[in-house]
């Protein structure tokens, strides 16, 4: 979920203070919502910070800074680097291997985030072990509901730019969006996109599914998702890629 776009309904009550939600904060990895100030006070009193709702150990929480609209991350892992930090370091180490070669021909309008996504597709890195990143609202009858919102459109555009290595992907984007109709299944979507994306179609749909299920912004999701290194990765998709992409809400 992109908390910069979450609207707090008058009926939303903070589970800590039992009052109307103010200055929304979202926990990771369980994605529960609280008042930011309440959660900060809750975290001060704990060495291991459990979620007030589900008791899962919290790694961090996110909230939007007033005025700027920027998302701020509060790390709650005090004794050792968080998994999020480990993922960030792993990603940066892989980017550094490609930086000199790829930056030479980096298309105008693209940046380092595109470089990382380019590496994901070049090395065929399937996101691993991110079921903990799934927003519960993304599940319906045992399937993942893909929400075609602004975040997903931004993600689709960014990944297509990384795959085709150009900022101008308007026609490719239209081709993908026209196939995201209500009720389509994952395998059918892969087949429909194969003529456009070739052997990257399966990985693209896999990544699209997990990204949408997180209900996060592309930037926040990049800090959640875990990828294998080139040395440890499997040459074939892991078993979790059989998740269904069944419903699209526009």
Which tens digit of pLDDT belongs to each residue from 1-34? 444 444 444 457 888 888 888 888 888 878 888 8
Query: What is d(CA 124, CA 65) in angstroms, rounded to the nearest whole number?
Result: 35
Query: What is d(CA 116, CA 122) in angstroms, rounded to the nearest whole number?
Result: 10
Write out the DSSP string of 202-217.
HHHHHHHHHHHHHT--
Which is higher by pLDDT, 198 or 234?
198
Q: What three-state secondary structure class fits 1?
A: coil
Q: What is the pLDDT of residue 201?
A: 94
Say whether pTM exceeds 0.85. Answer: no
- DSSP element (H, E) containing 103: helix 83-104
**Residues paired with 28 in a beta bridge:** 60
pLDDT in tens, 97-126: 666 666 667 888 998 888 889 988 988 888
Q: What is the pLDDT of residue 133?
A: 60
Q: At what angle do helices 112-122 and 201-214 cross, to 10 degrees?
A: 130
Q: What is the pLDDT of residue 153?
A: 93
If you average pLDDT over each of 123-132, 166-175, 230-239, which comes out highest?
A: 166-175
Q: What is the pLDDT of residue 161?
A: 97
Tell which residue, 9, 232, 249, 229, has the closest CA to residue 120: 229
Q: What is the pLDDT of residue 123?
A: 84
Chain-wide mean pLDDT for the chain? 75
**Residues paired with 247 in a beta bridge:** 145
Judge whether residue 187 has pLDDT over 50.
yes
Q: What domains does the chain contain, in order, with CATH numbers?
A: 3-75 (3.30.40.10), 83-249 (no CATH)
Query: What is d(CA 173, CA 160) in angstroms, rounded to the nearest whole number?
Result: 7
Cβ atoms < 10 Å from Cβ of 54:
11
């Amino acid at each position: 979920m992109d908390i910069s776009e979450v609207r707090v309904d008058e009926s939303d009550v903070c589970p800590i203070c039992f009052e109307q939600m103010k200055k929304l904060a979202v926990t990771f990895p369980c994605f529960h919502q609280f008042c930011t100030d309440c959660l900060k006070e809750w975290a001060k009193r704990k060495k291991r910070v459990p979620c007030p709702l589900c008791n899962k150990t919290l790694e961090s929480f996110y909230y939007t800074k007033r005025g700027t609209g920027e998302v701020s991350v509060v790390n709650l892992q005090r004794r050792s680097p968080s998994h999020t930090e480990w993922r960030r370091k792993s990603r940066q180490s892989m980017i550094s291997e490609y930086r000199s070669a790829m930056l030479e021909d980096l298309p105008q309008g693209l940046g380092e985030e595109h470089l990382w996504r380019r590496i994901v597709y070049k090395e065929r890195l399937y996101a691993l072990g991110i079921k903990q990143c799934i927003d519960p609202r993304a599940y319906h009858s045992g399937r993942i509901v893909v929400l075609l919102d602004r975040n997903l459109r931004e993600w689709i555009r960014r990944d297509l730019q990384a795959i085709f290595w150009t900022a101008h992907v308007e026609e490719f984007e239209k081709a993908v969006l026209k196939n995201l109709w209500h009720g389509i299944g994952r395998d059918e979507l892969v087949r429909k996109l194969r003529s456009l994306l070739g052997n990257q179609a399966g990985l693209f749909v896999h990544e699209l599914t997990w990204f949408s299920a997180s209900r996060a912004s592309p930037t926040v999701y990049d800090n959640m998702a875990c990828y294998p290194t080139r040395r440890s990765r499997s040459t074939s998709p892991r078993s979790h890629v059989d998740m269904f992409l069944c419903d699209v809400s526009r």
